[in-house]
Amino acid sequence: MRLLAPAFKFHFKEGRRTMILSVLSSPALVSGLMVVRLDFSAMIFPVVHIGAIAVSFLFVVMMFNIQIAEIHEEVLRYLPVSGIIGLIFWWEMFFILDNETIPLLPTHRNTTSLRYTVYAGKVRSWTNLETLGNLLYTYYSVWFLVSSLILLVAMIGAIVLTMHRTTKVKRQDVFRRNALDSRRTIMRRTTDQITIY
């Protein structure tokens, strides 16, 4: 895609060209990493980009002037549905963590039989991504959930600190300043031949 960059030169402005080329080159980079068998890097690349887009979207939403009373009304309206979804989520979590250990080999085997199985031929090779997913979601699933809860608390804490208004900090309210009448707020005072605006 980088070789086709001069072709887009005359059709788009600089900002649009860069954005289009980054969108078009991302799948090419991911597929190239998959061809070279760098599965983890190929999967982490879109996750990081989607995460960056989600964080920027979150900051745009935070900049909206949402009244706190409207938020409380919305929360009370959706509380039963969110409670049911939360209970289903916790039931699934306890069900998964209770049945976490899965036997790899069958235990009920006829030991009097002379037939045997060579398990070395039945073991299939795993890719890097399958190995990482198997470790992360089976043996370290509790730590994965704990780290996600820590990130959730950090995100909510950043939002609360941003939305929290204290009276000790001097700040200007833009909407209140724009609503003031300039004829009543700006006065001309003259003191001893000096004019101050």
Q: What is the pLDDT of residue 95?
A: 74
Confidence of residue 185 (pLDDT cuts 50, 70, 90): low
pLDDT one-digit tens code per residue, 39-88: 888 888 888 888 888 888 877 777 776 665 566 667 677 888 888 999 99
Measure the CA–CA gap between 80 and 135, rounded to whole angstroms.
Answer: 36
Q: What is the pLDDT of residue 193?
A: 55
Average pLDDT, the chain: 72
Q: What is the pLDDT of residue 82?
A: 86
State which of 3-7, 87-91, 92-96, 124-128 shows the largest mean pLDDT: 87-91
pLDDT higher for 131 or 10?
A: 131
The identity of residue 128, as a single letter, is N
As a whole number, mean pLDDT of residues 30-34 equals 85
Measure the CA–CA gap between 62 and 164, rounded to whole angstroms.
Answer: 12
Per-position b or e across 41-57, b if 16+ CB within 10 A of its CB: ebbeeeeeeeeeeeeee
Rounded CA Rg of the chain: 30
Question: Are 174 and 63 contacting, i.e. CB atoms less than 8 angstroms apart?
Answer: no
Task: Say yes or no to pLDDT of 4 above 80.
Answer: no
pLDDT higher for 36 or 71?
A: 36
Task: Say yes or no to pLDDT of 130 above 70.
Answer: yes
Q: What is the pLDDT of residue 5?
A: 45
State which of 9-23, 120-134, 147-161, 165-179 shows the largest mean pLDDT: 147-161
Q: Looking at the chain, how many residues does it have?
A: 197
Task: Say yes or no to pLDDT of 119 above 50.
Answer: yes
Give the 3-state secondary structure of the chain.
CHHHHHHHCCCCCHHHHHHHHHHHHHHHHHHHHHHCCCHHHHHHHHHHHHHHHHHHHHHHHHHCCCCHHHHHHHHHHHHHHHHHHHHHHHHHHHHHHHCCCCCCCCCCCCCCCCCCCCHHHHCCCCCHHHHHHHHHHHHCHHHHHHHHHHHHHHHHHHHHHHHCCCCCCCCCCHHHHHHCCHHHHCCCEEECCEEEC
Measure the CA–CA gap between 4 and 21, rounded to whole angstroms.
Answer: 9
